[in-house]
Structure 1
Amino acid sequence: MALRGKQKSYLRSQAHHLNPIFQVGKGGVNDAMIHQIGEALEKRELIKVSLLQNTDETPEEVAGILEQALKCQVVQTIGKILVVYKPSATDKYRKISLEVNKI
């Protein structure tokens, strides 16, 4: 699932108004959090994840963990906020991925 530049640009513009719905704290990324992020991506396709100041993990480490575990793509990293995208497997929730495929 390699996204082209214009597709990433579209996703960044869609994510601009979103608030982070997950926070990585000093506990780091665990299996339960990965599972919840996966479920959120299935319903929303595009989410933001923020890293709190007390976490020991870097945004690059968290991005690598999420990409490997969920087969998703980190579209953008701004400071300690990640924009994560994964097309939904359910037709009911596909909105953003249909637009991305048109680009």
Structure 2
Amino acid sequence: MLTSKQKSFLRSEAHHLQPIFQIGKSGMTDAIIKQIEEALEARELIKLSVLQNCEQDKEEIADILSQQDGFEVVQIIGKTIILYKESKEKKKIVLP
């Protein structure tokens, strides 16, 4: 669980990032979750974009992701979700 200070730090780190995943009509599938997990292991901090044609709500998607092992939803802004997961091998971000 992240503290508010850590979330604030991660929000500032994610500000310049572009979304690397787009969640569309098919919603959250196991394949997308697996790809997100691999991206988080490599980068630790990513953005997801929820498209308008997605049948699931952004809060529902964030809830599904937060239930995954180690995934932390940092923030939801509009249709963008910021995710963090501490890397096991390539730790880049040092939290305050």
TM-score band w.r.t. shorter chain: over 0.9
Equivalent positions of 1:49-60 (< 5 A) are: 49-60=48-59
Does the 8 Å CA contact 1:46/1:85 hold for their aligned counterparts?
yes
Which residue does the alignment assign to 1:45? Answer: 44
What is the RMSD computed on CA atoms of the aligned residues?
0.8
* Greater shift in the superposed pair: 55-64 or 10-19: 55-64
Unaligned runs of 5+ in 2: none
Provide the TM-score with structure 2 as the length reference.
0.96
How many residues in Structure 1 have an aligned counterpart in Structure 2? Answer: 96
More helix by share: 1
Paired with 1:89 and 1:58, the residues of 2 have a C-alpha distance of 30
Query: Where in structure 1 do 4 or more consecutive aligned residues deviate above 3 Å?
Result: none
Percent of counterpart pairs with the same letter?
Answer: 56
Unaligned runs of 5+ in 1: none
Provide the TM-score with structure 1 as the length reference.
0.90
Does the 8 Å CA contact 1:38/1:70 hold for their aligned counterparts?
no
Paired with 2:23 and 2:69, the residues of 1 have a C-alpha distance of 16
